[in-house]
Structure 1
Amino acid sequence: MNGQHKLFTSVASGWGITLPGWSYPVVCDLSSGQLHFDNYNGRWGQQQVLDHFLQRYACEKAKIEARKKGHTISEQTLADGSIKLTILVAAGAA
C-alpha cells in the first residue's frame, strides 16, 4: 500500500511491502529508488527473505524491459535458489 509506514523508530513514505516473518514493512520510495526497512540485524526479519524479494523484483523488471524490445526470455531456478534468466535477442534488434 502506498503511504506512510511505521518502522521501529521512524516513518517512511512509499509502497509498503509486508515480507513473511518481518515485524515491519519494507518501504520502497519510488521517487528516489531507496528501500527503507528495520530488521534489527535479522531479529525482526531475515535478510535472505529481503534478498529473495529483491532478486524476484530484478528478474521481473528485466523480463518486462526485454519483452518491450521484442526479446524472448527463459527463466530457470537453480539448485541454490538463485534465478538464471536467458534473454534471446530478436534478429535485427538493438
Structure 2
Amino acid sequence: MSHIVTIETEVRDVTAIRQACDRLTLPPPIYGQTRLFSSGATGWQVKLPDWQYPVVCDVNTGRLAYDNFGGRWGAPEQLDRFLQAYAVEKATLEARKQGYSVFERSLDDGSIHLRIQTGADT
C-alpha cells in the first residue's frame, strides 16, 4: 500500500544533522555560540556553501537561526537542500529504528522519493 506524506521539519536530531552534512559534503556541524550579523545564536552550526554566516540549529526548540540578508549573503536554495537532506536522514533513522527497510530514489525535479517497507509490505 502506498501513502504520500508531507513532513514539516523541525531540526532536533544531531545525528541527522551530521548525516545531512555528510550527504551534502558540508563540513561537520560544530556546537557553540556564533555571531550572526547583528545578533548571536547558540546551537549546532552548519556552514552552507557560499553563505556568509552559518545556519544555527537549536535542537531543543527545533528552530533555525540564520542571517542571509534576504539571499544576498547566501542562496535560500542551499538552506532548502540542507532541510531536505535532514528530513530524509531523520525519516531514514526513525524507520530503521523500527526495523523497516528504506529505499531512496532521486527524482528529476530535485525531490527525493523514500519508500519505507515494513516486514508486512509486499
Aligned partner letter, 2:60: S
Question: What TM-score comes out, normalization by structure 2 length?
Answer: 0.73
Residue 52 of structure 1 aligns with which residue? 81
| Higher normalized strand content (fraction of residues) | 1
Once the 2 structures are TM-superposed, how far is the Cα of residue 91 of structure 1 from its aligned partner? 2.2
CA distance in 2, matches of 1:15, 1:26: 8
CA distance in 2, matches of 1:6, 1:87: 40
Count of residues in correspondence between the two structures: 92
Residue 24 of structure 2 aligns with which residue? none
CA distance in 2, matches of 1:78, 1:5: 36
SS at match of 2:82: helix
CA distance in 2, matches of 1:90, 1:68: 13
Name which structure has the greater RCO, CA cutoff 8 Å, separation 6+. Answer: 2
CA distance in 1, matches of 2:97, 2:67: 35
Extract unaligned runs of 5+ from structure 1: none
Extract unaligned runs of 5+ from structure 2: 1-29
Q: How does 1:1-94 map to 2 (within 5 A)?
A: 1-91=30-120
Aligned partner letter, 2:68: N
Structure 1 stretches of at least 4 aligned residues deviating more than 6 Å after TM superposition? none
Question: What TM-score comes out, normalization by structure 1 length?
Answer: 0.94
SS at match of 2:78: helix
Aligned partner letter, 1:82: S
Structure possessing the higher radius of gyration over alpha carbons: 1
Once the 2 structures are TM-superposed, how far is the Cα of residue 81 of structure 1 from its aligned partner? 1.2
CA distance in 2, matches of 1:58, 1:89: 19
